[in-house]
Amino acid sequence: MDPQVAVLAQNEILLGERNYEQALDLVIGQAERELLIFDQDFSKGAYRSTGRHDLLRDFLARDRSNRLIVVLQEADYFVTHCPRLYGLLASFGHAMSIHEAGDEAKGARDCFVIADRKHYLRRIDIDHARFKYALADVETANRLYARFDELRQGVVGRITATRLGL
């Protein structure tokens, strides 16, 4: 472990973008079968980084039945600024789906990640690096899962790796 990185306490409100990214690594690293992400646009959380790409690629490549499902409030940032993740969508289209949220989800101020319905990370407000995460907290992860399911049912579009045009 990098000596510059602090050990993050679970089930406490934590602060800081770097700590948020570290907690995101921890939760994604715990995923064995399913990873669900609700985010505003992937502009926070180092989704553009090689490290985030590698972590998600390793999860998807580990088992053909693994699933990554993403709901974004706005997809423009992902499409224009996250080429590595866009490439994952092309390579792992059978296991990965990215959707744009409907109007009812556009006002949400938080974002969250759920791994296997038992590990989670929840950013309280997208504009402030205040968050909480836990490993093996099935009760809270299941509440977030129910919310994710509602968000997923209200999606208005799916991002695909192939662009259609004339």
Six-digit token pair at 66?
A: 């693994």
pLDDT confidence of residue 2: 41
Q: Are 36 and 151 in contact (CB under 8 A)?
A: no
Per-residue model confidence as pLDDT tens digits over 102-116: 887 888 899 999 999
The whole-angstrom separation of Cα 36 and Cα 149 is 10
Percentage of the chain beyond pLDDT 70 is: 93
What dotted CATH number matches 14-154? Answer: 3.30.870.10
The whole-angstrom separation of Cα 110 and Cα 148 is 12
The whole-angstrom separation of Cα 94 and Cα 41 is 22
Q: Are 151 and 105 in contact (CB under 8 A)?
A: yes
pLDDT confidence of residue 53: 97
Where do the domains of the chain lie? 14-154
Per-residue model confidence as pLDDT tens digits over 32-59: 999 999 999 999 999 999 999 999 999 9
pLDDT confidence of residue 164: 52
How many other C-beta atoms can be found within 10 angstroms of the C-beta atom of residue 81? 14
